[in-house]
């Protein structure tokens, strides 16, 4: 809820899902689960009621299966899911949105601190949409990606182990749901660590944890700071545990929490809903510009709120306070509390 409040878009917020693990399942098994899940969920959904989006384990394939069952049950073609395919109501930049937005807010914050992403070593965990497109945007802006990972292990290298022109290989691996270890075929300098995460193995200037919840603990945070990490922004939902956050806030120049830094995905979900309501589709450039503007507004909001509270640069406090204030103000104005 606080994350969505920071975007400035007129939406609520909630979390839900299932305990179905798609790893190792056939397309048919995933299809049958999605159809069964939507059969039960459909009674609670609507374009102006509740609009689910993808997350861990739920990408374009799963959203397609869910939307197909929704149409089959309701005979409606409405904006009841986001992350849809471009041929059937989806938005440009939606798959890229969380990763791009993450890097945009880091770039904005770096400029605020009189620095630049160009030439910076960036450690990224994960290889899903968030990590993949964060890495792509880092490379586009002149940064250096030093790591990626998945649930089996992590891969890392020096300045030239992965370049923008080679990134199609990472895309192919992800598209066929392969493992990050496969990238060793395409890089002579990459190193692979099985059943491990990047944080104790890489020297970096920026860390973007983008895999899963609680993936960085205190000792890993301390290792990052010791190895030169100055800036941290969360791409996954709550990837740093409380002790790790304390290390980052005391040892880095800035720490941006997930509720601000990974808001790009839900922001473009909101833009997808707007396009569905208007029966239109904006260009990549239009959506990308709107996404950048939203991330700029989020940073301005959390930064100025921290300043107003006498804690300049404490973006965790700024995000919590700014998001809470928007929700509280709305509740007061609508008579929910007096």
Instruction: State the 10-residue block means of pLDDT for the chain, 338 residues long.
Output: 89 87 92 98 93 88 96 92 94 96 99 97 94 95 94 86 76 81 85 94 97 96 98 97 98 98 96 95 98 98 98 98 94 88
pLDDT at 128: 87
- pLDDT at position 55 is 84
Q: 10 Å Cβ neighbour count for 32? A: 13
Q: Which of 15, 23, 114, 188 is catalytic?
A: 15
pTM of the full predicted structure? 0.92
pLDDT of residue 161: 76
Report the pLDDT value the prediction gives residue 137, as an integer from 0 to 100.
97
From CA 313, how far away is CA 109, in angstroms rounded?
Answer: 10
> What's residue 166's pLDDT?
72
Domains in the chain, CATH or no CATH each: 97-261 (3.40.50.720)
At residue 30, the pLDDT reads 97
- pLDDT at residue 115, as a whole number: 98
Query: 118 catalytic, yes or no?
Result: no
């Amino acid at each position: 809820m606080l994350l969505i409040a920071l975007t400035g878009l007129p939406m609520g917020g909630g979390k839900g899902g299932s305990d179905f693990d798609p790893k190792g399942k056939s397309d048919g098994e995933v299809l049958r689960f999605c159809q069964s899940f939507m059969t039960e969920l459909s009674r609670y959904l609507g374009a102006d009621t509740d609009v689910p989006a993808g997350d861990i384990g739920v990408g374009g394939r799963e959203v397609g299966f869910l939307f197909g069952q929704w149409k089959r049950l309701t005979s409606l073609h409405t904006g009841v899911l986001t992350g849809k395919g471009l041929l059937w109501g989806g938005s440009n930049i939606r798959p890229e949105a969380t990763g791009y937005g993450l890097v945009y807010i880091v770039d904005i914050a770096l400029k605020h601190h009189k620095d630049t992403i160009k030439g910076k070593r960036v450690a990224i965990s994960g290889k899903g949409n968030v990590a993949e497109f964060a890495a792509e945007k880092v490379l586009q802006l002149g940064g250096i990606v030093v790591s990626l990972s998945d649930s089996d292990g992590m891969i890392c290298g020096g300045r030239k182990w992965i370049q923008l022109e080679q990134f199609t290989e990472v895309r192919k691996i992800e598209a066929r749901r392969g493992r990050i270890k496969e990238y060793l075929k395409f890089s002579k300098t990459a190193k692979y660590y099985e059943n491990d995460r990047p944080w104790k193995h890489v020297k970096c200037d920026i860390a973007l944890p983008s895999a899963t919840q609680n993936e960085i603990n205190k000792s890993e945070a301390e290792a990052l700071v010791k190895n030169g990490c100055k800036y941290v922004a969360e791409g996954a939902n709550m990837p740093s545990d409380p002790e790790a956050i304390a290390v980052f806030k005391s040892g880095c120049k800035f720490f941006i929490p997930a509720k601000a830094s990974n808001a790009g995905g839900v922001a473009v979900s909101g833009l997808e809903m707007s396009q569905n309501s208007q029966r239109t589709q904006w260009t990549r450039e239009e959506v990308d510009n709107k996404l950048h503007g939203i991330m700029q507004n989020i940073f301005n909001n959390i930064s100025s709120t921290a300043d107003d509270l006498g804690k300049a640069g404490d973006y965790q406090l700024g995000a919590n306070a700014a998001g809470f204030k928007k929700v509280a103000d709305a509740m007061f104005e609508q008579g929910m509390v007096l």
